[in-house]
Structure 1
Amino acid sequence: MVADPSDSPAPALERLFSHGETIPLVQWHALSGARSAVILCGLVAVLSFVTGLSSLSHPTAADGPLATVIPSGSSVVPFTGVLLAFVLGGLAFGLQRRKRLAWYLTLLALLLVSLLPLTTFQTSDVPLLLSTIVAFPLLLLNRDAFDQRIELSSLQIASLSSIVGVVLYGTIGSYAIRDQFTGIDSWGDSVYYVIVTIATVGYGDITPLTTGAKWFSLSIILFGTGAFTVAIGALIVPAIEKRMATVFGNMTPSDLRLLEDHVLVLGHSDITEPLLGELGDEVDVVVVTPDADAADALSDRDFNVLTDDPTHEETLHDARIEDAAGVVVATRNDANDVLAVIAARKLNPDVRIVAAATDDQHVDKLEMVGADEVISPVEIAGRLLGQSILETPSTQSALETTDEDGS
């Protein structure tokens, strides 16, 4: 017997998360979102590296509008383009984490990258120039998407400040006693000397001539290596700990990638498991559950998981409920479901919320606190059993019957 296409669960899911009205320019919204801005910035980084390296390998006359402003553009600007390519690659990672500081720095980096094609003005520079022109306004358009602050501990702030302090100490000090060194004639020489000294490279082109200059060099080595060692420990160790937490399924809020129009599933049980199978291939899904074992299993299946209490507003904010297309509340505890619906509705008054009531008596309560639709799995299962015995199974009709009873 051939199944009727109308019996497919797709119409039911479509009905749960459809907003009723037609939203114009949906495709344009997808193309102009924050995720597209991040991808485009990564593309600019690649093009900047390729274009800058090409200009360094095959120097040509600078014919761009900025050639007269930057006389040394034929050598300095291409090298800067290569350097900025690595900077933009790191900033793209920060943008992926929605960091506001990365957004500001990326705007500045894009302006600097545009100097390369505007100086050399070669045919091979056109892709870089066009991608930069598109990336800059796209970042400005999605400014609100990059709203995460960089949270540093007091130790991390102190370690970074110590590095800056050592560099300033070495630069100013070496320039002040430059007559006691060979090879230090400018501020640039002083910066170069401090960097190679802290890195313990010591090319030998700059040499202290007096005992005081030697002690000064030793102080830079001790302070510099100490500051870098502390900074590496303060910055790298927390990242390793966070990655280990991810391996065990305990994703932190910052691990959630750029998500737009995703579905939040609050709770994980036998009720939500079939839903994940249906939605997993259609939309991005974020599961919020306090169960670490369940989070570990879901992470292995490549689902975005936030191991936390789904009734807390901070948790829902970390899960980007402001950008969610729909919310499913099914914690298997109606009291927790009520709290989760209240928190979700408060943070996003316009999002569509569908709740699963464990007890039929609590359907009205869930609707009163803000759920757009409340499904009773027990009642639906009973109706399907009745229709199956009568040889007229229909998931859609069961949902319609439940809606008519609740309306």
Structure 2
Amino acid sequence: MKYAYFRLPIFVRMLLVGFSFILLFGGLIHAAEPNTYRTLFDGIWWAIVTAATVGYGDFVPKTMLGKFLGIALILFGTGFISAYFAALSASAISRENALLHGNVAYTKEGHVVVVGWNERVRELLKQLTAAHPSFTFVIVDATLDVLPVSYNQVHFIKGNPTYDSILQKANVAKAKMIVITADQHKNELDADMASILTLLSAKGINPDIYAIIEILTTQQVNNAKLAGADEIIQTNQLSSFSIINSLQSPGISPLIEQLLYRLGENCFQFLDPPDELVGQTMAESSRILLNQQILLIGIIREGVPFMNPSPLFTIQQSDRLFVLKHH
């Protein structure tokens, strides 16, 4: 308690000193000229107006002692008030710079941590901030000095995401999801190893966080699973899939791209089967869902995907429906 005052921020201490000057001189002028300053509040009002250099002139010292008090307040009190506002401005600018350069820890919860900065992350933010204004993101990257985009829902942390201290600044412990993208400045193997190390660090801090990781090499997929990845996105396989389908059916890639891109109009989702679909065939379920502008693509049963199964495939209560839903 003895040193609690000195632990306060400088602008708070200066504010306390300034208020002390106001109260002191307000009380002194009230005692020195009780006929002019009939109440303590009158004295405090005069002290504030004088120290702020406003000078309304509604209260003016009449005696020599009162005038000396006015001089003392102007010399000392005004300096403290000016210094306080200067310190307050400097503190605000300093915090704004720290926030801009990724040096301020994130304290809220329920956010999505995104590791790495690249065009994939830029597109992710562009679409999700527009489609889901309630989502909040924390971008963690060691290569950026300033985040090149500005969204109200996005916070930037500069640093190596494999360090626990950096992930703690991103408040991974209170985040609901983490998306780990491949480092574009490394070769594929090194990028995958760095991603898996980041995943291990994140899971060490928050074992329940839902982790989506981008893996570039097939050899590291199993390691990512062992590290606790909930979803693995194999970017190179997705690119290869698009190229193969374009070679087999020229012109198909723009359709695939449009289908995946138009998040605002269509989106892939998992749905629990409504009671009316339990026991129905794939063909009958597709017909019912189409009337609701929902395209049934596949079924997830006990973790095993069945894409475009037989029309006679029967839906069970425990299944999850993989659909394309029109908003």
Q: Which stretches of structure 1, 4 residues or longer, exceed 6 Å deviation after superposition?
A: 392-397
Q: For the Cα contact (< 8 Å) 1:266–1:327, is it kept in 2?
A: yes
TM-score (norm 1): 0.50
Cα deviation for residue 228 of structure 1 reads: 1.2
Paired residue type of 1:263: V
**Counterpart in the other structure of 2:265:** none
TM-score (norm 2): 0.60
Aligned 1:1-400 pairs, distance under 5 A: 154-179=9-34, 182-243=35-96, 250-253=101-104, 261-283=110-132, 284=135, 285-292=137-144, 295-299=146-150, 304-309=154-159, 310-322=161-173, 324-332=175-183, 333-391=191-249
Which runs of no fewer than 5 residues in structure 2 stay unpaired? 1-6, 184-190, 261-267, 269-296, 306-327
Relative distance call for 1:336 and 1:169 in structure 2 (3 A) is farther
The structure with the larger Rg is 2
Paired residue type of 2:76: F
Cα deviation for residue 305 of structure 1 reads: 4.5
Superimposed CA distance per residue, residues 173-206 of structure 1 (whole angstroms, 9 cap, x where no aligned partner) = 2233344xx4212222222121122122333343
Superimposed CA distance per residue, residues 223-243 of structure 1 (whole angstroms, 9 cap, x where no aligned partner) = 221111111121102323444
The separation in 1 between residues aligned to 2:39 and 2:236, in whole angstroms, is: 80
The separation in 2 between residues aligned to 1:273 and 1:197, in whole angstroms, is: 53
Cα deviation for residue 164 of structure 1 reads: 2.1
Superimposed CA distance per residue, residues 19-77 of structure 1 (whole angstroms, 9 cap, x where no aligned partner) = xxxxxxxxxxxxxxxxxxxxxxxxxxxxxxxxxxxxxxxxxxxxxxxxxxxxxxxxxxx
Paired residue type of 1:203: Y
Paired residue type of 1:233: A
Cα deviation for residue 269 of structure 1 reads: 2.4
Q: For the Cα contact (< 8 Å) 2:141–2:158, is it kept in 1?
A: yes
Higher strand share: 2
Superimposed CA distance per residue, residues 342-400 of structure 1 (whole angstroms, 9 cap, x where no aligned partner) = 33324433321101123333323333333212222123333443344444987899xx9
The separation in 2 between residues aligned to 1:271 and 1:200, in whole angstroms, is: 55
Cα deviation for residue 266 of structure 1 reads: 0.8
Q: For the Cα contact (< 8 Å) 1:266–1:328, is it kept in 2?
A: yes
Higher helix share: 1
Higher RCO structure (Cα 8 Å, ≥6 apart): 1
Over aligned residues, Cα RMSD in angstroms? 3.6
Paired residue type of 2:20: G
SS of structure 1 residue aligned to 2:30: helix
Q: For the Cα contact (< 8 Å) 1:253–1:319, is it kept in 2?
A: no
SS of structure 1 residue aligned to 2:131: coil
SS of structure 2 residue aligned to 1:183: coil
SS of structure 1 residue aligned to 2:178: strand
Paired residue type of 1:222: L
The separation in 1 between residues aligned to 2:124 and 2:58, in whole angstroms, is: 67
Relative distance call for 1:223 and 1:374 in structure 2 (3 A) is same
Q: How many pairs were matched up?
A: 242
The separation in 2 between residues aligned to 1:200 and 1:278, in whole angstroms, is: 52
